């Protein structure tokens, strides 16, 4: 799968070169799971297993930096703390983890550009978000972290986290079970869940390199050279029409608010689903890196058909409009409106939707699985008046 605009900015949406290395390595106890699962090295209990996951907020932290520089409001970094945590925790959810999660964060900063007041907001944002998760039954605690002043490595700030969990082996959600004959429930990335304080644009923390450059104007290229790679062709750097304070078309948000909308966690929802209906869940996919094509790596002989999408949020419509990015590439890079997928038998759909509904998040059957036309998995996607096909090759 290729993503031309993404690649031009030095980013890989499918991480093909990474998979070329890691796919041949030990895949753990459940090779088909969303996260690598190992034996329980922490306690040695043969009935349990360990999961460890590392990820971060990516280049979304640069957007917070831009907002901070132009407004002086350091509280914007609270959302970046959430972004980093969610990109770990919600991946663990897809392997069935909802308890005994220990998380640690690493902040690499240029102290000249990211001073103590911004760091304080980042740390407090971490603690506040973990407290919210615990209020909704998610057993997670902080294991501390590290702050490194590395001005030679970064012009602004990067925020990364690592999450570790211990769980019963018989509770693992093994995505190798994804097969033909299943319904796919999509859970929205936008709107306002009962555990959120403000409306979410749905942007999350994937594709922010393209979103930032495609939406924001040359003003940011000229004023903040520390926020982009000088080797990138200037035609791909801050080449959009907007400033962050501009109104986002067809939305009540500004462009900056939409881009900085904290990545939604599905942890409260998944805690209820996995606690009460684990047996009805065949597979779980977090549509993060790879967007709507993430699912292609799970199961065997599966044709994923997604033809009943939730409404596409305004942030994605505006990115596509101003950049001219193809519909095919948009779905490879962005979640396009739902970032968590639940795979189940059609008969179990009403039960699972009824569990999701009280959280105030839109959810519906967005597609199904059928037998593939050949030995490899592939995807047919119908959205925004187009039908596109994806395979592992292209």
Instruction: Please provide residue 386's backbone torsions phi and psi, each rounded to the nearest 5 degrees.
Output: -130, 155
In the three-class reduction of DSSP (H, G, I as helix; E, B as strand; rest coil), residue 175 is classed as helix
Give the span between the Cα atoms of 193 and 185, in whole angstroms: 17
Give the span between the Cα atoms of 128 and 71, in whole angstroms: 23
Give the span between the Cα atoms of 151 and 161, in whole angstroms: 20
pLDDT in tens, 254-272: 999 999 999 999 999 999 9
Instruction: Convert 176-194 to b/e letters by CB count within 10 Å (16 or more is b).
Output: ebbbeebbbbbbbbbbebe
Query: Whose structure tokens read 């290229």?
Result: 221
59, 36 Cβ separation under 8 angstroms? no
pTM of the model: 0.94
| Helix ranges (DSSP H) in 193-323 | 208-215, 218-223, 255-259, 267-277, 314-323
143, 104 Cβ separation under 8 angstroms? yes
Least confident piece of the model among 22-31, 35-44, 110-119: 22-31
Q: Which architecture, in CATH terms, is 4-391? A: Alpha-Beta Complex (3.90)
Domain coordinates of the chain in residue numbers? 4-391
For the cut 50, the answer to whether the pLDDT of residue 50 exceeds it is yes
In the three-class reduction of DSSP (H, G, I as helix; E, B as strand; rest coil), residue 364 is classed as strand
Token pair, residue 77, equals: 């970094």
Token pair, residue 216, equals: 């924001």
Give the confidence band of 1 by pLDDT, cuts at 50, 70, 90. very low
pLDDT in tens, 264-307: 999 999 999 999 999 999 999 999 999 999 999 999 999 999 99
In the three-class reduction of DSSP (H, G, I as helix; E, B as strand; rest coil), residue 304 is classed as strand
């Amino acid at each position: 799968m290729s993503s031309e605009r993404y690649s031009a900015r030095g980013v890989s949406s499918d991480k093909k070169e990474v998979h070329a290395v890691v796919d041949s390595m030990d895949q753990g106890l459940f090779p088909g799971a969303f996260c690598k699962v190992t034996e329980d090295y922490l306690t040695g209990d043969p009935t349990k297993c360990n999961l460890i996951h590392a990820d971060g907020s990516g280049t979304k932290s640069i957007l917070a930096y831009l907002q901070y520089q132009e407004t002086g409001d350091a509280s914007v970094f609270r959302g970046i703390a959430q972004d980093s945590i969610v990109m770990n925790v919600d991946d663990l959810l897809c392997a069935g983890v909802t308890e005994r999660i220990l998380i640690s964060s690493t902040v690499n900063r240029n102290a000249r550009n990211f001073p103590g007041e911004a760091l304080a907001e980042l740390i407090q944002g971490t603690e506040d978000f973990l407290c919210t998760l615990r209020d909704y039954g998610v057993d997670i605690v902080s294991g501390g972290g590290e702050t490194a002043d590395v001005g030679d490595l970064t012009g602004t700030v990067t925020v990364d986290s690592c999450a570790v969990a211990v769980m019963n082996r018989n509770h693992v959600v093994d995505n190798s079970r994804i097969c033909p004959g299943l319904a796919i429930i999509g859970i929205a990335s936008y709107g306002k869940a009962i555990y959120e304080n403000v409306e979410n644009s749905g942007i999350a923390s994937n594709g922010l390199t393209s979103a930032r450059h495609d939406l924001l104007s040359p003003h940011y290229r000229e004023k903040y050279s520390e926020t982009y790679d000088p080797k990138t062709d200037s035609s791909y750097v801050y080449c959009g029409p907007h400033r962050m304070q501009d109104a986002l078309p067809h939305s009540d948000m500004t462009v900056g608010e939409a881009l900085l909308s904290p990545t939604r966690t599905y942890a409260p929802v998944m805690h209820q689903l996995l606690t009460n209906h684990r047996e009805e869940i065949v597979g779980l996919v977090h549509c993060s890196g790879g967007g709507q094509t993430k699912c292609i790596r799970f199961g065997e002989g599966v044709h994923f058909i997604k033809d009943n999408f939730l409404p596409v949020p305004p942030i994605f419509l505006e990115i596509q409009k101003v950049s001219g990015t193809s519909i095919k590439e948009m779905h490879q890079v962005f979640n396009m409106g739902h970032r968590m997928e639940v795979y189940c038998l059609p008969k179990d759909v009403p039960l699972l939707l009824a569990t999701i509904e009280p959280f105030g998040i839109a959810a519906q059957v967005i597609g199904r699985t059928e037998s593939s036309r050949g030995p490899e998995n592939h995807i047919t996607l119908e959205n925004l008046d187009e039908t596109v096909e994806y395979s592992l090759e292209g």
